[in-house]
């Protein structure tokens, strides 16, 4: 984890209201593992006051990519960054997906909406480790779909404009033959409702599963205690999302 002023390489629109921002950070690009995030101070002053956390989407050379949709104060400012602007980045933060373990042969990647964010970097890791990959992504419609840098992708849209008329979880269930007999492990990111369904499916089918959570954070690295995640039957009631997550084994937590 370092804090540094990074140069914005560029900001590019990749889908409706969805942007990829690339910044230069040799350190973050080289040490970040899939599932980790960076915490960005998008503006000086108080609007917004707090940093904004973003999953690292992909790294290439000295470049780090994040992907976001414009929903509020922080993302509106980020969207307008120009090549050469400096942003204050803290990272990499958090515990990555356990892609380096040997308890699986097939990485099953599930992303809902902007939950695709950590999937490209996860794909790169899995491919490099010669694991099989099955990818299931869902979005509201074809216009918000981002499939770049993914492999073996199945698509669902809420409005049926591309792929299955349904959700990423529907896809996951429908195509279970593709992975279920090949020592699968699910890595999922997306809205809470989706993660809930993925976790239920994984537990019911005894498939190991990790999810990447999202929630309000003030610091992103453990000094504010602002990001509790409820643990199941542990000696403690809460873990910290930023420091002990954002990725969690679904059996550990109450989503």
Ligand X SMILES: Cc1cc2nc3c(=O)[nH]c(=O)nc-3n(C[C@H](O)[C@H](O)[C@H](O)COP(=O)(O)OP(=O)(O)OC[C@H]3O[C@@H](n4cnc5c(N)ncnc54)[C@H](O)[C@@H]3O)c2cc1C
140 and 158 in contact (C-beta within 8 Å)?
Answer: yes
Question: Shortest distance, CB of residue 102 to ligand X, whole angstroms?
Answer: 26
Strand pairing partners for 211? 188, 248
Q: Does 69 bind ligand X (CB under 6 A)?
A: yes
Q: Does 233 bind another protein (CB under 8 A)?
A: no
CA distance 252 to 229: 10
CB nearer to ligand FES: give 49 or 86.
49
Burial of 23 (0-12, 13-18, 19+ CB in 10 A): buried
CB nearer to another protein: give 103 or 237.
237
Question: Shortest distance, CB of residue 66 to a copy of itself, whole angstroms?
Answer: 23
Phi, psi (5° rounding) for residue 12? -130, 135
The site string for ligand FMN over 206-245 (x = CB under 6 A, - otherwise) reads ------------------x-x-------------------
DSSP E strands: which ranges in 27-83?
A: 37-41, 52-55, 58-60, 63-69
Q: Of a copy of itself, another protein, ligand FES, none, which one sits near residue 229, judging by CB under 5 to 8 A according to partner kind? A: another protein
**Can you count the helices (H) and strands (E) in the chain?**
6, 16
Q: Residue numbers of the site for another protein (CB under 8 A)?
A: 1-3, 41, 46-51, 88, 90, 215-230, 236-238, 243
Q: Residue numbers of the site for ligand FES (CB under 6 A)?
A: 217-220, 222-227, 240-242
């Amino acid at each position: 984890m370092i804090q540094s002023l990074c140069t914005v390489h560029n900001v590019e629109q990749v889908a409706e209201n969805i942007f990829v921002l690339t910044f230069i950070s040799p350190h973050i690009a080289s040490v970040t593992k899939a599932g980790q995030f960076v915490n960005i101070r998008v503006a000086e002053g108080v609007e917004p006051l707090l940093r904004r956390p973003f999953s690292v989407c992909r790294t290439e050379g000295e470049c780090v990519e994040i992907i976001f949709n414009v929903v509020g104060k922080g993302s509106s400012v980020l969207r307008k960054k120009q090549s050469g602007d400096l942003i204050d980045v803290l990272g990499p933060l958090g515990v990555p997906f356990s892609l380096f373990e040997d308890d699986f042969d097939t990485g099953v990647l599930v992303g809902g909406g902007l939950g695709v964010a950590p999937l490209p970097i996860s794909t790169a890791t899995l491919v490099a480790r010669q694991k099989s990959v099955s990818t299931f992504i869902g979005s509201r419609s074809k216009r918000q779909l981002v499939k770049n840098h993914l492999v073996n992708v199945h698509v669902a849209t809420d409005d049926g404009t591309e792929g299955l008329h349904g959700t990423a979880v529907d896809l996951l269930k429908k195509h279970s033959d593709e992975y279920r007999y090949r020592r699968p492990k699910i890595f999922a990111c997306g809205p809470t409702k989706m993660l809930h369904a993925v976790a239920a499916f994984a537990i019911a089918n005894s498939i190991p599963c990790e999810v990447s959570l999202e929630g309000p954070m003030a610091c992103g690295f453990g000094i504010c205690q602002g990001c509790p995640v409820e643990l199941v039957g542990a000696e403690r009631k809460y873990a910290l999302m930023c420091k002990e997550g954002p990725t969690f084994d679904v059996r550990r937590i109450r989503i």
